[in-house]
Amino acid sequence: MKKKIVKSVIIPLLFAITLGFYGAHIAYQFYQVKKEVDKRSFNTYAIQYGVYTDEKTLKDKLKKLDDYVVSVEDGKYYVYLGFTTDYDNLGKMRRIYKNNDMQVYTKYMYIDNQEFVNNLEQFDVLMANTDKEEDIISVNEAILSSYEEIILGN
């Protein structure tokens, strides 16, 4: 009788517990990978002017620019001319720099500061509703100020 109980109840119960444990472990690992992938994805486009390792070279290059922010990351100086979450706005901004004979790069960034991203999305609405270069530049100045204040803490 005891052998029947062990075979019919205990063994399937142990099998179910083991299967549940491994299933939960796999689901948890999947969640961790998904969370990491989400973090690696970008939510903004940055218009980057350049990256410099030497402060003297940086200062020489900045003399040519009016509106920019400099972010120090890994001992390097990154010069950004604008940020957007909207691909069409990115095109507008890149056209302005191209018309001024400036070579810029698009950098895909993940910014985890929700306050800045919310501000950026509001500025993007303003920028999307204009095609005037001076209006786009004005909105971009506000974006750079917001980045400097919120992200860089200046």
pLDDT tens figures, 100-131: 899 999 999 988 888 898 899 999 999 999 99
Q: Is residue 47's pLDDT more than 70?
A: yes
The fraction of the chain above a pLDDT of 90, given in percent, is 50
pLDDT score for 9: 77
- The H or E element that residue 105 is part of is strand 105-109
Give mean pLDDT, residues 12-33.
81
Q: Which residue has the higher pLDDT, 39 or 35?
A: 35
The fraction of the chain above a pLDDT of 70, given in percent, is 89
Let me know how long the chain is. Answer: 154
pLDDT score for 64: 84
pLDDT score for 138: 93
Residues in CB range of 44: below 8 A, 6 or more apart: 83, 84, 85, 108, 109, 110, 111, 117, 120
**Tokens linked to 118:** 């919310």
pLDDT score for 113: 87
Give mean pLDDT, residues 68-88.
93
Q: Is residue 8's pLDDT more than 80?
A: no
Give mean pLDDT, residues 26-35.
74
φ/ψ bin of 92: left (φ > 0), alpha (ψ from -120 to 50), beta (otherwise): alpha
Give mean pLDDT, residues 127-146.
93
Nearest residue to 143 (alpha-carbon basis) of 84, 58, 73, 99: 84
pTM: 0.71
